[in-house]
Amino acid sequence: MPPRKKAETPAPSSPERGGGNKAQTINDIARLAQVSKKTVSRVINQSPLVHKETRDRVEAVMREVNYTPDPFARSLAFRRSFLIGMVYDNPTAQYIVNMQNGALDGIRDSGFELVVHPCDSRNPAYIDGVRRFVQQQKLFGVMLVPRVSEDQALADMLAEIDCRYARIASVSLDHASRMLITHDRDGAAEAADYLHALGHREIALITGPASYRSAHERTAGFIEALQRHGLELPRHRVIEAGYTFESGVAAAERLLAGKDRPSAIFAGNDEMAAGVYKVALRSGISIPQQLSVIGFDDSPLASRLWPAMSSVRLPIRDMGRIAASMLLQNEPTAAAALATASVRPHLIIRDSCQPPG
């Protein structure tokens, strides 16, 4: 049994080992472990076709000399890099940073690195930009963050050039192994339940732009939950805005103008909810005594406002971690299993709501 014999061969004496700081190569490891470089390669790539004893010996040597394979040599030979791309449009900075940190959690110690690619999805040419990015860097895979994640043309292009991707969106838009669903609907429903439980019946809603799936989901979740309580939102109490602070201000101005004011407002994101705060403060309407407000995103803004604002939080960092892990999975079923890890929003209760006066 040659393997056994080899396993008992004493390791080469230390003088041979790479003492200097210069990086070791696969050839050094092969020599030190007394195997061919191909076998070292198999160990690196976790091939099952290696005797356990051989593997152990090789791994011991790699650990001893602190060896890590050169990612560029591997990229060249593999014709595919060890880079994960994060493609995003233009949500809030905190969202991006959280998502990035999560993605870094997901690829930690995997030898992969994260490279970022902001883009402007209003310009259709952005898809070509992503294509160049993917092809030139031979990206291993890309994470698609809302709202670009909702663009089927982008997903189609990636499939065409055979690039892995993971889409993060509020509803399923693709095969389970490529989707991370955020269930925004449930979060909005929780906000509705909470306001209803507090006793609010005169409720208004400021929605995001209809072109965003998240806006649609949040709106639907909120309205349906109220309906389950037997409450119907009148048309004039539902205003579509643009997910921006300014649009939130404009919507709040309409909602809070007359005498027939709602006692509570739910906004589709924190930016718009901050707009409600501005109008209320300016008009002398006190929060929460005269008006309850809930946002969505739990951005830093929510806790910086006064009174601190209740908001629906999405576990963005976890989402980033899971999406990145999905990309690294070789089995679609394993990826799909990761995706079902419950990424659920939940309401963070602060000081912006109370029972209606």
Partner DNA sequence: CTGAAAGCGCTTACAG
Residue ranges binding DNA (CB under 7 A): 3, 6, 23, 25-27, 35-42, 44-45, 48-51, 53-55, 67, 69-70, 73-74, 76-79
Q: Confirm or reject binding of residue 75 to a second copy (CB under 8 A).
A: yes
Pairing of strands 310-313, 346-348: antiparallel
Q: CB of 325: closest distance to a second copy in angstroms?
A: 18
Secondary element (H or E) of residue 83: strand 83-88
Single-letter code of the amino acid located at 53: E
Residue 201, CB-side half-sphere exposure with 13 Å CA sphere: 3
Binding partner of 3, given a second copy, DNA, none, CB within 5-8 angstroms per partner class:
DNA
Choose from DNA, a second copy, none: what does 114 bind? Cβ within 5-8 Å by kind: a second copy
CA 43 → CA 23, 36, 69, 143, distances in Å? 18, 11, 11, 28
Pairing of strands 292-296, 310-313: parallel
**By the rule CB under 8 A, 282 interacts with a second copy:** yes
Q: Which stretch binds a second copy (CB under 8 A): 135-143, 146-154, 165-173, 191-199?
A: 135-143
Query: Which residues have CB under 8 Å from 128's CB, separation 6+?
Result: none
Q: Is 156 in the site for a second copy (CB under 8 A)?
A: no
Among 39, 54, 100, 292, binds a second copy (CB under 8 A): 100
85 membership: H or E segment, kind and range: strand 83-88
Query: What does the angle CA 18 – CA 23 – CA 29 come to, to the nearest 5 degrees?
Result: 55
CB of 97 to a second copy, least distance (A): 4
- Considering only residues 302 to 321 of the shown chain, the ones binding a second copy according to CB under 8 A are 303-306
Cα 291 vs. chain centroid, distance in angstroms?
Answer: 33
Write out the two tokens for 123: 């310009």
232: number of CA atoms within 13 Å, CB side? 2
Q: Cβ 79 to a second copy, closest distance in Å?
A: 9
Q: Which is nearer to DNA, 39 or 325 (CB)?
A: 39
Residues near a second copy (CB under 8 A), total: 42
- Which among 343, 316, 341 is positioned nearest to 101, based on CA atoms? 316
Binders of a second copy among residues 243 to 272 (CB under 8 A) are 245, 271
- For the CB of residue 275, give the shortest distance to a second copy in the complex, in Å: 8
Nearer to a second copy, 4 or 79 (CB): 79
Binding site partner of 128, from DNA, a second copy, none, Cβ cut-off 5-8 A by kind: none
Q: Which stretch binds a second copy (CB under 8 A): 133-141, 145-153, 181-189, 217-225?
A: 133-141
- Closer CB to a second copy, residue 34 or residue 92? 92
Position 163 contacts a second copy (CB under 8 A): no
Quote the Cα angle for 64-69-71, to 5°: 150
Stretch that binds a second copy, among 95-103, 225-233, 258-266, 319-327 (CB under 8 A): 95-103
Q: Which of 226, 239, 149, 151 is nearest to 194 (CA)?
A: 226
Give the length of the chain. 357
Q: 23 vs 281, which CB is nearer to DNA?
A: 23
Partner that binds at residue 50, options a second copy, DNA, none, CB closer than 5 to 8 Å by kind: DNA
193 and 221 in contact (C-beta within 8 Å)? no
